[in-house]
Chain A
Amino acid sequence: MTPRAGGGVPRVGVMALQGDVREHAAVLSKLGAEPVPIRRPMDAVGLDALVLPGGESTTISMLLDSSGLADELAKMVDDHLPMLGTCAGMILLASEVLGGRPDQRCYGAIDVSVRRNAFGRQLESFEADLAVRGLDEPMHAVFIRAPVVEQAGPSVEVLASVWVPGREDAGGRPVVCVQGPVIVASFHPELTGDGRLHELLLRNLEEG
């Protein structure tokens, strides 16, 4: 259980317009938080944190606009609500998207420029053990048509990187980044039920 400053169980919104919402909700429940599926603006009240799941970023971006949740999300970013975005969620939280659709929106919660489908098509999707700074054991990371960070701003901390085939930089490209209360990952910890990034999110609540 993660005790809240004001007492009670933390309410963590999970943007539930499309994607692997259920897996995120399961991880949050396991950690003692209350997952709240968000589909309409009226759902987005009294949240302590927000998770943006994996899915198709172009579709979610469109559904955010049509549902009226785009404004809510922009407000939550302005309010520095703690957030975790995985894969499509990382794209939506970034400050710039490369290789996306021209009408695709991102909300600038974290100062990174991400490239969509950076590894290529599904045949290049992979799983691997990933060393993440601050974690004792590696995370088993599943990358599905995953994005990577092309450029991270000065206040962004890079927690993990992977090698991108065909790119020469020896250090690889960032795939887990943190800036203040916002965490983004290119892969899907929720698919393997690894709750350590969600735990980090909940720890931000206690400290915030």
Chain B
Amino acid sequence: MNIEKGRATGTARVKRGLAEMLRGGVIMDVVNAEQAKIAEDSGAVAVMALERVPADIRRDGGVARMSDPALIEGIQEAVTVPVMAKARIGHFAEAQLLEAMRVDYIDESEVLTPADEAHHIDKWVFQVPFVCGATNLGEALRRISEGAAMIRSKGEAGTGNVVEAVRHLRSIIGDIRKIATADSAERYAWAKQLQAPIDLVEEVAATGSLPVPLFCAGGLATPADASLVMQLGAEAVFVGSGIFKSDDPARRARAIVEATAHFDDPEILVKVSKGLGQAMVGSEIASLEVKMAERGW
């Protein structure tokens, strides 16, 4: 029997491929191995390692950075599902550390304090795939042009308020719909308006979708939140503070997994939403001192 030929790692297809496999699932923020176990026990398709959940970053202030490598390794040992980790925007050295630790995905994240005010990481030079946040289609396409293999809405992390994630998703998906019906002259105007490469605008026009999977993040706190964003067109969800800042993280995590899988089935949503205890308290967007979604360029 022949063995395969031309084995290639770290290609765009291989990077995007893992994102495709996470579709319909929930990726949960965890700060240590114990939380990672709870996440995996609850059906998370992957976990996201970070130093503090966004709600705590907001409360404590200070500079938020990549996690301690020892904590990430502890999480990698604790679970069998993919382990993602966050690096600061533009901080390619943190990304190099994370790649050397063989994390499965790097989130170049606005939740951490940006390290560069003009440049994002050149993600093409890495073998490990990256996910980046976006508030609109222009930002999404710029991140893809830099090599991102998955896009997530930014939302407003750590607020337990889904309104910003909804705004970002509607903006991205709404503009994709418009571009899909634009003529060739209009597509150049779209590229200019979005400050995005024309070839990516053409690809969106031809396929009617982003070139990489579109997930939702930022402010999700309930099973119904997950259902809402999935119905709006998100392909999977990230939940951060919403789980471990609630009364009963394991039950809420499990309920959000069920809600994401059965997002268009209100009967199941009712069943899984019952008696979950208090959700995280949450904040009004207007009351925030720092809007994380404004970070990134």
Contacts and interface: CB of A to CB of B under 8 A. Distances in A.
B128 interface: yes
Contacts of B261: 17-18, 39, 63, 67
A19 B265 CA distance: 18
A133 B1 CA distance: 8
Contacts of A58: 40, 43, 80-81
A23 interface: yes
For the complex, would chain B's binding face be called helix, strand, loop or mixed by DSSP majority?
Answer: loop
Contacts of B257: 59, 62-63
B6 A128 contact: yes
B25 A59 contact: yes
How extensive is the interface on chain B, given as a class?
35 or more
A36 B102 CA distance: 38
A67 B129 CA distance: 32
A172 B3 contact: yes
A145 interface: yes
Given A19-B23, A122-B82, A126-B14, A171 B43 contact: no
Best-buried of B4, B5, B23, B127 by chain A (most CB within 10 Å)? B4
Interface string A124-146: 11111111010000100110110
Contact of B45 (A55, A100, A127, A171): A55
25 contacts: A18-B24, A19-B25, A20-B21, A20-B23, A21-B24, A22-B23, A54-B21, A55-B22, A55-B24, A58-B40, A101-B80, A116-B80, A121-B82, A123-B9, A125-B14, A126-B14, A127-B13, A130-B4, A131-B4, A138-B4, A142-B17, A144-B20, A145-B82, A191-B13, A191-B20
